[in-house]
Amino acid sequence: PPSESSVGLAMGIGFLCSSIGFFVIAPSIVVWVDRHVGPTFARWFRIDPKLLASQITSHLWRTVGAAIAMAFGLGLFVGIQVWGFTMLESFIPGKWTPDAVVMLNPGLAPEEARKLANHPDVDPQRCLPMVVEQPRLVEDLTGSAKRPSVIRQDNVVMIGLDPEPALIGEHPLLRLEWVAGNPRHAVKQMQEGGACIVPDHFIEETGLQLGDSISVSPPRNADNQVSYVIAGVVQLPGWHWQTKFTGLRTRTHRAAALVIADYDSVASDFDLPTASHVWFSYASDDADVDSIQAFASDLVEQSIADEPADSETPSSDATEDKLAKVVPVQGIRHRLDVTARRWIWVISYIPLVSLLISCLGVLNVMLASVRSRRWEFGVLRSIGFTSSDLTRAILVEGLLIAFVAGVLSLGFGILSGWCGSGMAQYMSFFGGLHPPLVIPWLPIMGGFLLVLLLGVGIAAWPAISIGKSRPMDLLQSGNDFS
């Protein structure tokens, strides 16, 4: 198979060629807008369609240059929006995950952790204790030695939980979309021990298949390597940031995958006598998170009180909020969404400023275009067209140029944003992530409307100037430019 560098180079060349392609098809778009969009605008502004006919095609390359100048800034804006929100999709926790995770410090015995289901705001059918470890992979399956990225790392996050209520039944804890294998067969293998399910991106990056094994080194006993057979492959969108905020990354800040196995295997292989987390869903939409956290803290505090006096327990001044912490998944989604949107918009301001600067050049083009047709406008005034007709015609001409720029920007921006996210998957820190294309239509349409308004604004000065001129002045001063 081709190397990632060659794939990235090919995508870069393709992006360059597509940019040239948009420049080449710009004249065709100008002609199409003149023939099909111009009459519509003429009806909206109550202008004789013949007055607009060929206005932007009579000086085709001047129109193309003005439209491309405006399209550059908006195209970058659209590209940044598409790229940003497409990449964001990989980090937002998906619908597969339960509503919240509670971190227990120190852990609880499994039977004690299950008592969290007794809280009235916790769904008893979707509440399971977990053990968590972050062991290193024995083999460098993801090529982490070649280049670091989000998933190309030398370790995995392994969580152990009861596979049957987690994966099958009417109300499974995890609502997964299976790529390979099936839940019942996977649960049977996991219950027998030494089996796991992995995310689809891990399979794609490592080249492993269903039935292959992954070997890891327990951090507390690196010489005693353990292996797990891949019993299923699932989609786990957004697991990266969920593991970050919920304390599931116990050893280092990055991991290659979130691997799910049965509770007993993980607890035994990694010497984890207590459950460190409980994964659960709410019993209702108005669940009291503070009450659940207080209840979990009481469970931990009671467990500490029941420990023998010579056992290792936290100091007596440990506060209650250190004993248990509930992390709602919706809070993670909101935090990521707000932060990402803020940075995407910060970056997007630069092309918008570029768009405004380019409008100064387009204004000069419009002034030159109108000045060169003063004699023509004088003739039109002489045969019965009013100053209002000419003013609106020039405004619509600016609007048509802006419309051409908007069409070019949409095509170029969406394609460049998609290509950018594709290149990021192969060439940068985001390697291994393959998110679906996300087009944020609201800001994009806002940018499109901004260009249309700027087109009208650019044409306003020359339009008003022509509207205030007398027919005789137009005929006398304009004849030299005709």
Residue that is last in its domain, among 264, 286, 308: 286
Give the burial class of 204: count Cβ atoms within 10 A of its Cβ; 0-12 exposed, 13-18 middle, 19 or more buried: middle
Q: 381 with 401, same domain?
A: yes
Q: Residue 177: which residues within 8 A CB-CB, separation 6 or more?
A: 96, 234, 235
Domain boundary (286, 315, 345) is at: 286
Question: Has residue 127 been placed in a domain?
Answer: yes
**What whole-number distance in Å separates Cα of residue 70 and Cα of residue 429?**
32
Q: Are 432 and 9 in contact (CB under 8 A)?
A: no
Residues 211, 159 share a domain: yes
Residues 253 and 110 reside in one and the same domain: yes
Distance between first and last Cα of the chain: 62
Inside any domain, residue 307: no
Strands (E), 193-240: 195-199, 213-217, 226-235
Q: Are residues 110 and 82 in the same domain?
A: no
Residue 211 lies in a domain: yes
Q: Whole-prediction pTM value?
A: 0.74
308 falls within a domain: no
Are residues 134 and 280 located together in one domain of the fold? yes
Final residue in a domain of this structure, among 286, 316, 349? 286
Task: Give which of 166, 329, 159 is closest to 249, Cα–Cα.
Answer: 159
Q: Are 395 and 463 in contact (CB under 8 A)?
A: yes
Does 320 map to a domain?
no
Q: Are 80 and 110 found together in one domain?
A: no
Same domain, 165 and 242: yes
> Do 256 and 396 fall into the same domain?
no
The number of domains in the chain is 2
Residue range(s) defining the domain that contains residue 475? 4-90+337-481
Does 326 map to a domain?
A: no
pLDDT tens-digit profile, the chain (482 residues):
445 556 556 666 777 787 788 888 888 999 999 888 888 998 888 888 877 776 777 778 888 888 898 998 999 999 999 988 888 887 888 889 999 999 998 889 999 999 999 999 999 999 999 999 999 999 877 766 665 555 567 889 999 999 999 999 788 999 999 999 999 999 999 999 999 999 988 888 888 999 999 999 998 887 789 999 999 999 988 888 888 888 888 887 788 889 999 999 999 999 999 999 999 999 998 899 999 999 999 999 988 876 665 444 444 344 444 689 999 999 998 988 888 889 998 998 889 898 888 888 888 888 888 888 888 888 888 888 888 888 888 999 899 999 999 999 999 999 888 887 777 666 555 555 677 888 999 999 999 999 999 999 999 988 888 888 888 887 877 554 43
329 located within any domain:
no
